[in-house]
A and B are shown apart, each in its own frame.
Chain A
Amino acid sequence: MLIKYEFLKILRKKSTIIVMAASLLLTAFLFGLPILQYQTYIQDGVIKGSEGIAYTKDQYQDISVPITDEYVEKTITEYQKLFENPDNVGYDGNEKFLIGNAYWNFVAPREKQLSMIASAYDSPGENSGFNKLPELDLANGAKFYQARNEKVESLLNTPSRELSTQQKEYWSNMSSKVETPLQYGYHEGWEIIMSSFELLMFSLLSACIVIAPVFSGEYQAGTDAVILSGKYGKTKLVTAKIISSMLFGVLAFTLHVIVAFGLPLAAFGADGWNLPLQVAGLTIPYPFTFLQATLINLGVIYLVLLAMIGLTLLLSAKMKSPYLVLVVLVPVLFIPLFLSPNGTTGAYNLTLFLLPYRSVMPEIGKYVSYQIGGLVLDALSMRAILYAVLTAVMLPLARLGFKKHQVA
């Protein structure tokens, strides 16, 4: 009963409706932007919006194949052959590239795939694109997966990464679990989702704004005295407030996630959900499909959300006004937005990757790991543990804060 009324108290407020409506609109706008801006180039010009999406999808039909060494070799060979005809080749003073029908018939439909293939032969940190493929020596075959593995090893051994032997082993072991040959295919919707996770910070903030008055609103309205002197004012009521806040936060955030993911998936299709992440980033060590990675990162974000609700409730129990709660909360959530990592190791970087803003980003290709004694944890696991612990610590503190509140 108390949970029902506490939930009603949150829902009934005008500010709840305003904040939720504004936040949903913002989420729809941010996640809808890639749809509105989507355009694909064809020989005769540009096709925009859903027509462009349909055209791109159609182009993928011929290249949605397993990326075997043979396929890679055949594709590179075809590409190199096109370069043998001078009529197909353009030069901008820096590099050579295919032009005319050779470009439109061969490169344009598989531009992303070619980039992915070419990336196997780049050194760590290098991104020369597929224009280096004409020079690639195929005398001993493409050895695509060998090249990928060697690149991963080089990445791990980059001195600036300062990875320990255990960390290198951890990542090598994970990367070796990636199933080959990789199945290629259309995955536009999932790629947009994977690269836009941080936009969910606004949804997270809106949930926290709504629950900021859960305790402090009682102090501000002067209702604290009457509820704290009730039989369950310091016991069951506090639990009800916490549960209803959590419930509201999770439901409100889920609504945002449905809008955020629903728009790109509705526009671009859910195709590619079962494709490996490596088709979007060859050196990604995680042996997950797009759907698995999305769900895992979403799981981490839900833990961040619960911890932020915990922090909001703790601040709310300790502060006299919901505005003061937000004065503390907003910087905690958004200051990391202005901090850039300068690598993936060192206390600064490792801390930065655990802050709420960074924690909603999957950053699955950065090999960020944490070593505690002999235990190595990747960023996703570390975040999951950290935010679960923070939730477990902050909720009892919030509870105690309200219980000990003195009406003055």
Chain B
Amino acid sequence: MQLQLKNLCKQYRTKCAVNHVNASLSPGVYGLLGANGAGKTTLMRMICGVLKPSSGSICLNGKSIEELGERYYSHLGYMPQDFGFYPDFTAREFMLYMAAVKGLDVKTAKQRTEHLLHMVNLQDVANKKVKSYSGGMKQRLGIAQAELNHPSILILDEPTAGLDPKERVRFRNLISDFAKEKIVILSTHIVSDVSYIADYILMMKSGQFLLGEPMETVTDHIKGKVWEILIDNREVGEYSRDFSVVNLHHENNMVRLRIVSDTAPAADAVTVEPSLEDLFLYHFGEDAQSERSDDYVD
């Protein structure tokens, strides 16, 4: 199975949200990373057929998704970011409704609903109205509905946004369970969410793919560009101003800084093994810094 994005563009008046994106995706988990406004959600909406590209096309196994119509959508599972629920439906009713929208017959719908509610640990509250659910419970219900039709393409847009660390770990495990033999595109700006489960990393900036690499080699570009240095507490401000500081750790009266830089920030700085977060910071610089202050990063 091949999902191809061919010269995909989305133009909003003066802003180009997605700019000539090309990719060929085969089964695996793709972590789509980018700062807010990078074009991730627009790209995912186009892949899901709910937003028309300004130009370019999306093809599944060589056939455009417009041409495939219902046949394409039957392969698709989508969990949009912050999508709403029907507050007066119970979780079970919501799942059965979504199963009907996805074209499952009644028997299969019931079986899948019970199985998935069990998987996401909502079976005990399945008859409660969704409006009484917490954010985490709603997110779990969201991924359960995306998985109803055994999709071979699973699109998850910021699935862990707003979850506490425990919920996020649980969520990552769920996604891993669901991901087998599928094309999974997982968008996030929380790097640690993808570092554990992604096979490939797609990095997006200003509507374009900055890089697309297997997880094992994605950090190779910045080998020798991640540094650690132990400095005096009073020097922190100066280093933060001049370099991209990934991490800051107090050790007695000193501070250990982790810095991403093409050149050594100081003579006594030592290179360390780069991480995905270092890569993210390397490419997104101040955008990433501001998001780090907004979001929990572990």
Contact = CB atoms under 8 A, between A and B. Distances in A.
A227 B85 contact: no
A224 interface: yes
B83 A226 contact: yes
A231 B101 contact: yes
Interface string B105-125: 010000000000000000000
Given A225-B48, A228-B50, A407-B51, A5 B97 contact: yes
A8 interface: yes
Interface stretch (A85-93, A232-240, A344-352, A373-381): A232-240
Interface in A189-237: 221-237
Contact of A229 (B76, B89, B100): B76
A112 interface: no
B80 interface: yes
A81 interface: no
Interface in A219-271: 221-237
B56 interface: no
A8 B93 contact: yes
A229 B84 contact: no
B88 A225 contact: no
- Chain B interface residue bracket vs A: 20 to 34
B49 interface: yes
Contacts of A1: 100, 106
A231 B74 contact: yes
A406 interface: yes
Contacts of A230: 73, 98, 101-103
Give the interface residue-count category, chain A.
Answer: 20 to 34
A231 B83 contact: no
Contacts of A222: 80, 82-84
B96 interface: yes
B102 A231 contact: yes
B256 interface: no
B93 A223 contact: no
B145 A231 contact: no
B84 A223 contact: yes
A225 B155 CA distance: 12
Nearest to B142: A226
Interface of B: 45, 48-52, 70, 73-74, 76, 78-80, 82-86, 88-89, 93, 96-98, 100-103, 106, 145-146, 149
Given A222-B82, A225-B83, A230-B73, 16 more contacts: A2-B97, A2-B100, A5-B96, A9-B89, A221-B84, A221-B85, A221-B86, A225-B50, A226-B78, A227-B101, A229-B76, A231-B102, A232-B70, A232-B73, A406-B52, A408-B51
27 contacts: A1-B100, A1-B106, A2-B97, A2-B101, A5-B97, A5-B100, A9-B86, A9-B89, A221-B84, A222-B80, A222-B84, A223-B83, A225-B48, A225-B78, A226-B83, A228-B50, A229-B48, A229-B49, A229-B76, A230-B73, A230-B98, A230-B103, A232-B102, A232-B103, A407-B45, A407-B80, A408-B45
Interface of A: 1-2, 5, 8-9, 12-14, 221-237, 406-408
